[in-house]
Amino acid sequence: MIYVLLLILILLNVAWLALVVFGLPGNWLIVFSTGLFAWWQWDAGVFSVWTLVAIVVLALLGELVEFFAGMVGAKRAGASWRGSVAAVLGAVVGAVAGTFIIAIPFVGTLVGACGGAGLGVWAVENSRGARDHALRRGVSAGLGAFIGIVSKLAAGVAIWLIVAVAAFWP
């Protein structure tokens, strides 16, 4: 029976992983559901404390990289602090808008987040009078947001693999 429950956990974690592309906390949902399962079935000894610590650390790293990537991309191109903050806010708003405007699963959210980060920086930098550099800074912020989302997704895949292997490894 434990193997059926583990298979359900692994499949549930695939669904949580898909949420990462939408800007939702899918990695944390994987950590939460795995931690809950480990607590519930602690006597079975499926997941060690070290496995749980590893997935928490990976989830934290994924969040940090995603959060700061758009900001760093904008800053590296010379954007102001306000422009960098606009990259983060624009990515969130763009991800939500892109999900509904471009009705292709995952693609709309990803394009929306990157475009929102870029447009946010472009708008702020344009309003500050840096018209010559606003487009380059916006594109850099969009690329940074893309790198952040892909990095968070890569962390999520690593978390999922750790859980899947630990679930069925003797």
Q: Could you count the other beta carbons within 10 Å of the beta carbon of residue 45?
A: 8
The domain in which residue 48 lies consists of: 2-168
- Give 69's pLDDT tier (boundaries 50, 70, 90): confident
Query: What is the percentage of the chain residues whose pLDDT exceeds 70?
Result: 99
Checking if the pLDDT of 166 tops 90, the result is yes
Which pLDDT does position 26 carry in this prediction? 93
Checking if the pLDDT of 31 tops 90, the result is yes
- Give 10's pLDDT tier (boundaries 50, 70, 90): very high
CA distance 92 to 80: 19
116-142 burial by CB neighbour count: b if 16+ within 10 A, else e? bbbbbbbebbbeeebeebbebbbbbbb
Give the pLDDT mean for 79-108.
87
Contact partners, residue 167, CB within 8 Å, separation at least 6: 6, 9, 10, 46, 47
Contact partners, residue 107, CB within 8 Å, separation at least 6: none
Which pLDDT does position 106 carry in this prediction? 81
Q: How many CA atoms lie within 13 A of 25 on its CB side?
A: 11
Q: At what angle do helices 81-101 and 49-76 cross, to 10 degrees?
A: 110
Which pLDDT does position 76 carry in this prediction? 80
In terms of C-beta density within 10 A (0-12 exposed, 13-18 middle, 19 or more buried), how is residue 67 classed?
middle
Which pLDDT does position 59 carry in this prediction? 97
Task: Tell me how many domains the chain contains.
Answer: 1
- Give 62's pLDDT tier (boundaries 50, 70, 90): very high
